[in-house]
């Protein structure tokens, strides 16, 4: 009996199994999902910090300018994370149903508007001097934090 070299057996057995077929590697949609879930974990982490800080300042009913800016920047981080997810989904439309893509696009438009609004609020503080940043802000900033309740949900859990 003739022995076949082990390398030849491996090539024959696995040589035709390419990552595109999903046998040895992930398919494109699986890679997209993995990438989105990883970014969602980043966004969730930022969101948890933001939510904890927001609740803390609302409970204290007191916030200094630099603290307010910090919370607004956390909010920006959440929106930017969302935008990365939306871009990834838009680049790979075959991985999502038409209904989910529609919801993703609508969420992208809303997130862009919210991001613009928050960046505008942050820009107002660029004119503050260092000692002005440590001053207490008026009740409008606490009211804004009270009304700003962001929720976190994976796009894979959205109902469509």
Write the pLDDT tens digit of every residue in 28-71. Answer: 999 999 999 999 999 999 999 999 998 998 888 888 888 888 99
pLDDT at 1 over 70: no
CB 29 within 8 A of CB 82: no
- Please name every residue paired with 64 in a beta bridge, in sequence order, or none if there are none: 136
17's enclosing H/E stretch is none
Write the pLDDT tens digit of every residue in 105-153. Answer: 999 999 999 999 999 888 887 776 666 766 767 676 777 777 776 777 7
**Long-range pairs of 124-132 with CB within 8 A, sequence gap ≥ 24:** 125/65, 125/68, 125/69, 128/65, 132/65
Give the CA angle between residues 112, 148, 78 to the nearest 5°.
Answer: 45
């Amino acid at each position: 009996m003739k022995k076949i070299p082990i390398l030849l057996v491996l090539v024959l057995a696995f040589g035709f199994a390419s990552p595109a077929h999903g046998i040895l590697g992930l398919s494109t949609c699986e890679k997209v999902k993995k990438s989105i879930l990883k970014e969602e974990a980043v966004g969730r982490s930022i969101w948890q910090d933001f939510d904890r800080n927001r609740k803390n300042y609302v409970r204290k009913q007191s916030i200094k300018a630099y603290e307010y800016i910090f919370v607004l920047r956390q909010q920006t981080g959440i929106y930017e994370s969302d935008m990365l997810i939306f871009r990834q989904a838009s680049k790979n439309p075959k991985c999502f149903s038409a209904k989910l893509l529609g919801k993703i696009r609508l969420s992208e438009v809303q997130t862009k508007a919210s991001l613009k609004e928050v960046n505008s609020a942050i820009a107002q503080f660029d004119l503050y001097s260092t000692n002005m940043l440590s001053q207490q802000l008026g009740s409008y900033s606490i009211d804004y934090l009270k009304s700003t309740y962001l929720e976190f949900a994976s796009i894979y859990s959205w109902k469509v």
